[in-house]
Amino acid sequence: MITAAVLDKVLGLLAPLFRDVTADEDAARDAALATLTGYGARDDRELRFAALAIAFSFGTMEALSQAAQPDLPPNQVLRLRGNANALNRAAQQNEARLEKAQRQPVAETAFDRPAEANGSPPGAAGSDADLPASSETADLVAFVRAAWKAEKAAAAAQATPPASPPSRQQRRFAERQAEKQRQRELEQARLAQRAAQRDAAQTGRIAAGA
């Protein structure tokens, strides 16, 4: 089921993308809703995938358009093209996630169901409302890179097996090593003490001879 709170947040993200063709906020939101409807999202999760796919696709075109401007320094052109590549990849990933989700059954679908009907207070959409700060290219790129970084960290954490407790043999070896280290430190302390005593005795003899 699509909750009203999530739909409102998604339309707030996408509406600015349509302000080039209409200055009216309601018309921009209607255009965003019509575009979303074409993706056939059935619940908040699918709606989020569709919204991200749309936003990243628009961001890709915007970044490529900026990169095509004349007189841009080469490093800025490369940066914009890199942003376009990252956004295009993210758009494709979210479309694939949407298609995968839509192959699973959903109990109920509604665009106009209020959030309270889902047992959640208005605005409490959880992870389904995790969206970029805005549809500006910089915010989209920052969102994509942060998401990829989090995914890599999660994958690395899952790939690292938990440390097993040391075996009896390992504990004994560690104890022997610690004892050897302690003996070395004691020997070094004794040698240092003897050297200090010799120096003191030599100093005393020199003083007595003087």
pLDDT in tens, 70-103: 899 999 999 999 999 999 999 999 999 999 999 9
Dihedral sign (CA 124, 102, 62, 60) = positive
Residue 13 lies in a domain: yes
Q: Tell me the C-alpha to C-alpha distance, in Å, between residue 85 and each of 18, 60, 81.
A: 22, 7, 6
Q: Is the pLDDT of residue 157 over 60?
A: yes
- The residue with greater pLDDT, 208 or 195, is 195
**Single-letter amino acid code for the residue at 16:** P
**114 pLDDT more than 70:** no
Distance (Å, whole) CA 158 – CA 181: 36
pLDDT confidence of residue 10: 96
* Continuous segment of H or E residues that includes residue 137: helix 137-159
Q: What is the mean pLDDT of residues 8-32?
A: 91
Residue 153 belongs to a domain: no
pTM for the whole structure: 0.65
174 in the same domain as 119 = no
SS3 label, residue 135: coil
Query: Are 210 and 118 contained in the same domain?
Result: no
Instruction: Identify whether residues 140 and 190 lie together within a single domain.
Output: no
Q: Identify whether residues 117 and 205 lie together within a single domain.
A: no
Same domain assignment for residues 132 and 80: yes
> And the tokens for 167?
């075996």
pLDDT over 50 at 8, yes or no: yes
> Are 71 and 23 in a shared domain?
yes
Structural domain count, the chain? 2
- Closest C-alpha to 63, from 131, 141, 10, 180: 141
Specify whether 78 is located in the same domain as 128: yes
Q: Are residues 197 and 130 in the same domain?
A: no
Q: Do 70 and 139 fall into the same domain?
A: yes
Residue 24 within a domain? yes
Clarify whether residues 122 and 42 are in a common domain: yes
Question: Does residue 204 sit in the same domain as residue 102?
Answer: no
- Taking the C-alpha atoms of residue 74 and residue 72, their distance in angstroms, rounded to an integer, is 6
Which of 198 and 89 is assigned the larger pLDDT?
Answer: 89
At 160-183, the pLDDT tens digits run 666 678 788 888 888 888 988 888
Report yes or no on 107 lying in a domain.
yes
For residue 202, the enclosing domain spans 170-210
Asked if 81 and 123 sit in the same domain, the reply is yes
Percentage with pLDDT > 70 across the chain: 86
- Domain end marker among 88, 112, 145: 145
Q: What is the pLDDT of residue 107?
A: 59
Task: At 23, give phi and psi (nearest 5°).
Answer: -90, -10
113 within a domain of the structure (yes/no): yes
From 128, 145, 162, the end of a domain falls on 145
What is the rounded average pLDDT for all residues in the chain? 84
